[in-house]
């Protein structure tokens, strides 16, 4: 039987697996992470890091370093017929909503190397060239079979976390269906150096039967090109960038000086039937894949990792019963299904054939978007949806109550004030109680008796704008979501909540 000191096994060292391992390590839980590759990725792949992910990194003290390494997205230019049709600014789009009111371009290979180094500083090194070849589980443990260059090993672990991508060995070993489909269009993606650098803005080139994107990749001047492979070229096994270059340069109005990386791909949309079976979990691309609309994939996987990490850590440290783990799947699979549906609609609107889609691309988008962008409510809604700060778990068994505009399950709203930032205490990675105003002695005494840190924060204009109610109390989970909202600081409900969910609160990990 695996003891509580046995390391949790994470299969897959992409961003999802690395964040999961890093958060577990920061919680003080032994973890082992393996990957069949020889090292971090060497292509940019996922580019966009959204505000919610940066908020998670802020809890780890890493956000500032990530932002310094990336490129803030400035504006998005919509071009049609070789001329600019519209432009909308993305700079500080979420001002007042998040400490990170922008979208950040940070290529996945650099991102992975950064996380690998952060994980090493936390005392955990990725075991490269190590493949999960099979596993079995019972009520007490998982027995995982590993292969390191022909050397085989059986690893006993309390929990196995499959962060091993779209072809996940863990998902397949669990016999989980991966329903969905594949879009007909073939896409190309290339990281290139342009003969004339267009700056750090994003350019979307629209056409009747064509689509092209230009995005900044690195501070060194590389750019990402994405487009649809011309139909006559689809199916060629030896397709190279030189084959699509004439049509790409004509559509984008640019000239490519150097090609660093080129690939073609089909876009899939799938969600696994389950995210957990017994002591085995899946996260990231192992559980959901979808169109690249909005740059949601990697960020969603990191959200999975954060959600799962604190729950596994609580169980392993004896601060919660195993029943806590039952909340992972319903919280994350509901969002994954919603995300796949919404990105499917957006993707079909942009790449679909037929007159309706052509009108959308060439007339409605260029003319309607700048008009709507003039309204603050539109900009705020766009940021909240795309940045993932709107993700909430109102139907979770862990979510209770409402105070002001904040419900149990909501992300704790950001409320900076001259006296302090309400996100600063979240770096403890621990359960905590926030009161925006004055904490009553009865509540303070109950919190102290439960070992629950209480933060009495000012109820100023920022808290008011964020929807936080004066003198209300909010029990905040280690991932920054509100678990219980108490509008009147009702006595006894904290203890009842802890008992009902089998929790023991602790200060910093």
**In this structure, are 411 and 483 located in the same domain?**
yes
**In this structure, are 408 and 316 located in the same domain?**
no
In a domain, 391, yes or no: no
Mean pLDDT over 370-390 rounds to 80
**In this structure, are 443 and 328 located in the same domain?**
no
pLDDT at 53 over 90: yes
pLDDT above 70 as % of the chain? 90
Q: Using the structure block, give the residue that is written with the tokens 């509540």.
A: 443
pLDDT of residue 349: 61
Residue 117: pLDDT band with limits 50, 70, 90: very high
pLDDT of residue 49: 95
**In this structure, are 36 and 110 located in the same domain?**
yes
- Sheet hosting strand 83-89, strand order edge to edge: 83-89, 75-80, 202-206, 211-216, 222-228, 180-194, 256-271, 288-289
Mean pLDDT over 318-341 rounds to 94
The 10s digit of each residue's pLDDT in 202-240 is 888 876 667 788 988 876 678 889 888 988 898 888 899
Mean pLDDT over 337-347 rounds to 77
Q: What is the mean pLDDT of the chain?
A: 89
Per-residue tokens: 246:
């004439």
pLDDT at 3 over 80: no
Task: Judge contact between 132 and 145, C-beta under 8 A.
Answer: yes
In a domain, 41, yes or no: yes
In a domain, 246, yes or no: no
pLDDT above 90 as % of the chain? 64
Residue 300: pLDDT band with limits 50, 70, 90: very high
In a domain, 189, yes or no: no
* Range name among 137-141, 350-354, 409-413 with the lowest pLDDT average: 350-354
In a domain, 115, yes or no: yes
Residue 428: pLDDT band with limits 50, 70, 90: very high
**In this structure, are 15 and 134 located in the same domain?**
yes
Q: How many domains does the chain have?
A: 2
Which is more confidently placed, 202 or 301? Answer: 301
Cβ neighbourhood burial of 354 (10 Å; 0-12, 13-18, 19+): exposed
State the CATH number of the domain containing residue 39: 3.50.50.60
Q: Render 213-263 in DSSP notation, one character per residue.
A: EEEE--TTSEEEEEEEPPGGGTT-TT--HHHHHHHHHHHHT--EEEEEEEE
DSSP three-state, residue 453: coil
**In this structure, are 326 and 407 located in the same domain?**
no
**In this structure, are 336 and 406 located in the same domain?**
no
**In this structure, are 143 and 289 located in the same domain?**
yes
**In this structure, are 326 and 446 located in the same domain?**
no
Distance between CA atoms of 337 and 347, rounded to whole angstroms? 15
Among 303, 328, 344, give the residue marking a domain's end: 344
Helix, strand, coil % over all residues of the chain, rounded to 5? 35, 30, 40
**In this structure, are 59 and 157 located in the same domain?**
yes
Mean pLDDT over 441-464 rounds to 95
Among 325, 344, 363, give the residue marking a domain's end: 344
* Range name among 251-255, 281-285, 391-395 with the lowest pLDDT average: 251-255
In a domain, 473, yes or no: yes
The 10s digit of each residue's pLDDT in 40-52 is 987 657 889 999 9
Q: Identify the domain containing residue 470 by its residue range.
A: 400-500
pLDDT at 138 over 60: yes
Mean pLDDT over 126-138 rounds to 98
Distance between CA atoms of 290 and 16, rounded to whole angstroms? 16
Which is more confidently placed, 121 or 219? Answer: 121
In a domain, 447, yes or no: yes
The 10s digit of each residue's pLDDT in 237-280 is 889 999 999 988 888 888 999 998 899 888 888 999 999 999 99
* SS3 sequence of 314-372: HHHCCCECHHHHHHHHHHHHHHHHHHHHHHHHHHHHHHCCCHHHHHHHHHHHHHHHHHH
Residue 441: pLDDT band with limits 50, 70, 90: very high
State the CATH number of the domain containing residue 482: 3.40.30.120
Which is more confidently placed, 90 or 59? Answer: 59
Distance between CA atoms of 226 and 358, rounded to whole angstroms? 19
Which is more confidently placed, 341 or 292? Answer: 341
In a domain, 214, yes or no: no
pLDDT of residue 356: 60
pLDDT of residue 350: 62
The 10s digit of each residue's pLDDT in 471-482 is 999 999 999 999
pLDDT of residue 373: 67
Among 344, 360, 388, give the residue marking a domain's end: 344
**In this structure, are 28 and 132 located in the same domain?**
yes
**In this structure, are 135 and 46 located in the same domain?**
yes
CA distance between the termini of the chain: 25
């Amino acid at each position: 039987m695996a003891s509580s000191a046995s390391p949790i096994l994470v299969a897959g060292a992409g961003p999802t697996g690395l964040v999961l391992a890093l958060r577990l390590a920061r919680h003080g839980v032994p973890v082992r992470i393996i990957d069949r590759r020889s090292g971090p990725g060497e292509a940019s792949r996922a580019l966009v890091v959204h505000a919610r992910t940066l908020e998670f990194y802020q809890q780890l003290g890493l956000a500032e370093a990530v932002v310094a390494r990336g490129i803030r997205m400035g504006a998005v230019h919509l071009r049609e017929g070789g001329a600019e049709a519209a432009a909308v600014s993305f700079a500080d789009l979420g001002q007042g909503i998040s400490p990170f009111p922008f979208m950040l371009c940070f290529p996945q290979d650099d991102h992975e190397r950064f996380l690998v180094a952060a994980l090493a500083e936390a005392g955990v090194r990725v075991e490269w060239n190590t493949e999960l070849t099979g596993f079995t589980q019972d009520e007490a443990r998982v027995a995982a079979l590993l292969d390191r260059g022909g050397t085989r090993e059986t690893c006993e672990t309390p929990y196995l976390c499959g962060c091993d991508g779209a072809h996940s060995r863990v998902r397949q070993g669990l016999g989980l269906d991966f329903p969905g489909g594949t879009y007909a269009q073939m896409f190309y993606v290339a990281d290139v150096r342009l003969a004339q650098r267009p700056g750090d803005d994003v350019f979307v080139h629209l056409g009747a039967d064509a689509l092209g994107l230009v995005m900044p990749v690195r501070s060194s001047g590389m750019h990402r090109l994405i487009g649809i492979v011309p139909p006559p070229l689809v199916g060629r096994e030896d397709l190279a960038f030189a084959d699509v270059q004439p049509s790409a340069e004509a559509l984008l109005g640019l000239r490519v000086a150097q090609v660093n990386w080129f690939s073609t791909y089909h876009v899939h949309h799938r969600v696994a039937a389950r995210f957990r079976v017994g002591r085995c979990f899946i996260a990231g691309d192992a559980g959901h894949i979808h169109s690249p609309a909005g740059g949601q994939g990697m960020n969603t996987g990191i959200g999975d990792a954060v959600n799962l990490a604190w729950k596994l850590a609580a169980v392993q440290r004896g601060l919660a019963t195993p029943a806590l783990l039952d909340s992972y799947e319903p919280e994350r699979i509901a969002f994954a299904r919603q995300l796949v549906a919404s990105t499917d609609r957006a993707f079909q609107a942009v790449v679909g054939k037929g007159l309706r889609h052509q009108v959308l691309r060439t007339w409605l988008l260029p003319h309607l978007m700048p008009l709507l962008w003039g309204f603050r409510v539109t900009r705020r809604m766009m940021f909240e949806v795309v940045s993932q700060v709107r993700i909430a778990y109102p139907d979770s068994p862990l979510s209770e109550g409402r105070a002001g505009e904040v419900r149990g399950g909501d992300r704790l709203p950001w409320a900076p004030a001259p006296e302090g930032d309400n996100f600063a205490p979240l770096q403890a990675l621990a359960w905590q109680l926030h009161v925006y105003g004055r904490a009553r002695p009865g509540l303070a005494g109950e919190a102290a008796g439960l070992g629950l840190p209480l933060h009495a924060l000012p109820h100023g204009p920022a808290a008011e704008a964020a929807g936080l109610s004066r003198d209300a109390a909010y029990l905040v989970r280690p991932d920054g979501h509100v678990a219980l909202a108490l509008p009147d600081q009702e006595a006894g409900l904290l203890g009842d909540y802890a008992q009902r969910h089998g929790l023991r609160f602790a200060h910093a990990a």
